[in-house]
A and B are shown apart, each in its own frame.
Chain A
Amino acid sequence: MTRRATWLTAGLVIALPTVMVLGIASGAVGIAPGRVLAVVADQLVPWWSDPSPVELETYIIWDLRAPRVMTAALVGAALAGVGAVLQAVVRNPLADPYLLGISSGAGTGAVLSIVLGVSALGGLTRSVAAFAGAIIATLAVLILGRREGRVEPVRLILAGVALSFLFSGLTSFLTLTTQAEEVFSVLFWLLGTVAAADWMDVGLLAPVVGVGIAAIFFRSGLLNALLAGDETAIGVGVSVHRLRTELLLVTSLLTGVAVAIAGGVGFVGLVVPHLVRILVGAEHRRLIPLVFLAGAVFLVTVDLAARTVVAPRELPLGVITSVLGAPFFLWVMHHGDRRSPTGVS
């Protein structure tokens, strides 16, 4: 491990709990970080902590904000990891979780559920509809991206882009032909938000993201082989076509769940992997764990900004990731390390 990777690991391991506590502490009602720790400790190990906190405080911290921050962390980790994997799987630096049309499919599903009014039954229905849309898009792109039984990166990208346009068009049509007061909530959701996340969302996300992270982590050495080209990868004993299909299924599942719960948070999956790669290089054993961590830190921070920049109003996450993330990314790219093509100014 290089020294830079060690520093980055240490920095992220400290940063993640820090931004999570800050994320819980900030909001309409300001709470001291010390109180956050006390309430969280009281919830996790009630027999150990001292005087029980007041009920309202517990409600704000544990029921409102903690699941929101947890959701942001899980979605950030998932989307960033998916981006890093897809960039290797299709050997294209522009790949991100939305490239393959998965989020557009989820968006159409969600908007359909809102427009048809079934969302009156609660947030879960929208999530289910979004997830169904993601699965339909995934299956379509996997079928269209194959030739002679093999997944071909270029076909996959083209099929994904075409499907994205198709689903985006359908979403726009549904949005523009629906009742005016519903349009705003649809648009807001399409740009990504974790404002309404509760513990049920965390309960859905956590197992999927956990399994997905593990599945990707154990394949990170094989991703190095994919970078070296298919012929080389086959020559060192990697079943390239099987690996691609497995990774596409895992990443689709992660994207589907993330979009179903948090909407279309753009840019995270594209930018975070590149930022980490510029800092520590492209070796995936080192890169992948850091990308997961960085994605979590990034999205918790973005959510914090989304709540505070124009408080008391909230911004969608996608607005922050684009408006703040893009210039930051361009700055790092310009001053980055020459070891990476993206780092060459």
Chain B
Amino acid sequence: MELRVEQVTVELSGVDVVRDVSIEVAPGQVVGLLGPNGCGKSTVLRTVYRALAPRRGAISIGGDDVWKLSALGSARRSAVLPQDTPADIELLALDLALLGRLPHRGRIASPTAEDRQIAMDALADLDVDHLAQRPVSTLSGGERQRVHLARALCQTTPVLVMDEPTNHLDVQHQLDLLERVRDAGATTIAAIHDLTLASAFCDAVVLLKEGKVVAAGTPDEVLTPDLVLEVFGVDCVVLQNPRTGTSVFALSAVNGRRSRAGRPSDGDESEAASL
């Protein structure tokens, strides 16, 4: 299903933190939301899964305004992987994954055998089925993140909203998680910090700065050294991974600030701070 964010403006404590943001995600596409801290990525995402009402504008999934659906109806359209989840959840990992079935069976009914099967399959898919009977509070941050993604996938929604999905994950699981998300085939919108991952996994990226869209398009069009410098304030060299052909973003601080080696960086590519 198609996801459309149309001219959304969000006000928090009297300030418009997001202004006139429009984003279109075609069915099955993965769109990355990029920008520096505080640029409004999470705020835009929160309007999609109804945690925050926009002051102006509309969000529609499959042509229906999500703010006119019921809470459960909206949860059958989109599932969310939040940026931060509590570390002290006493529920078992399986019980957490089963929350993803709540929109399908309603508020009162207990999970069915089928629900349990779907949840176990999702946990197995993310390589955390062996943790099913462990309280989430005893898991590592990365394991918890994967259980939460399993919960979101259990929701079997046409749209997936992810706020920094690779948080807490080691490099293998970062790649693995994004691979699973692509395989799931859902229309996906994700806030991502890592430019290299974003350009490798997203069909399109949207660059935000101070609550406004600066650029949108394919990663190659948008993630140019000029725009990266303008939006993030860092120098960047786009290299190519010889094995995969994908872009690798080598970043360095501007204006000769000290690099990791402790010498002033003169902008030489070989001294660019490593990714």
Contact = CB atoms under 8 A, between A and B. Distances in A.
Nearest to B77: A237
B165 interface: no
B89 A225 contact: no
B212 interface: no
A234 B50 contact: yes
Contacts of B78: 235
Contacts of B110: 221, 285
Q: How large is the interface on A (under 10, 10 to 19, 20 to 34, 35 or more residues)?
A: 20 to 34
Interface residues of B, number: 43
Chain B binding surface SS class: mixed
A308 to B, nearest CB: 37
A260 to B, nearest CB: 30
B90 A227 contact: yes
Given A234-B50, A234-B51, A339-B135, A225 B92 contact: no
A282 B91 contact: yes
A341 B88 contact: yes
Contacts of A232: 80, 82, 85, 99, 148, 151
A339 B95 CA distance: 14
A338 B134 CA distance: 10
A237 B71 contact: yes
User: Which among B49, B71, B88 has the greatest number of chain A C-beta atoms within 10 A?
Assistant: B71
Nearest to B109: A221
B95 A224 contact: yes
Nearest to A91: B86
A218 B85 contact: no
Contact of B89 (A218, A227, A237, A239): A227
Contacts of B88: 91, 341
A235 B49 CA distance: 6
Contacts, number: 105
A277 interface: yes
B91 A228 contact: yes
B208 interface: no
A231 B107 contact: no
Contacts of B135: 281-282, 339-341
Nearest to A240: B51
A281 B76 CA distance: 28
User: Which among B72, B90, B102, B148 has the greatest number of chain A C-beta atoms within 10 A?
Assistant: B90
Given A234-B50, A236-B75, A237-B74, A282 B99 contact: no
A285 B102 CA distance: 13
A238 interface: yes
Contacts of B84: 229, 231
Interface in B42-89: 46, 49-51, 70-76, 78-80, 82-86, 88-89
Given A237-B74, A237-B103, A238-B102, 13 more contacts: A218-B108, A222-B107, A227-B86, A227-B91, A229-B85, A231-B80, A232-B80, A232-B99, A232-B151, A235-B78, A235-B80, A237-B73, A339-B134
What are the nearest 6 A-B pairs in CB distance?
A: A237-B75, A235-B80, A282-B90, A231-B82, A237-B72, A237-B103
Interface of A: 91, 218-219, 221-222, 224-225, 227-232, 234-239, 277, 281-283, 285, 338-341
29 contacts: A218-B107, A219-B107, A221-B109, A224-B99, A228-B91, A228-B96, A229-B85, A231-B82, A231-B84, A234-B49, A234-B51, A235-B49, A235-B78, A235-B80, A235-B82, A236-B99, A236-B100, A237-B70, A237-B75, A238-B71, A238-B107, A281-B90, A281-B91, A282-B95, A339-B138, A340-B90, A340-B135, A341-B88, A341-B90
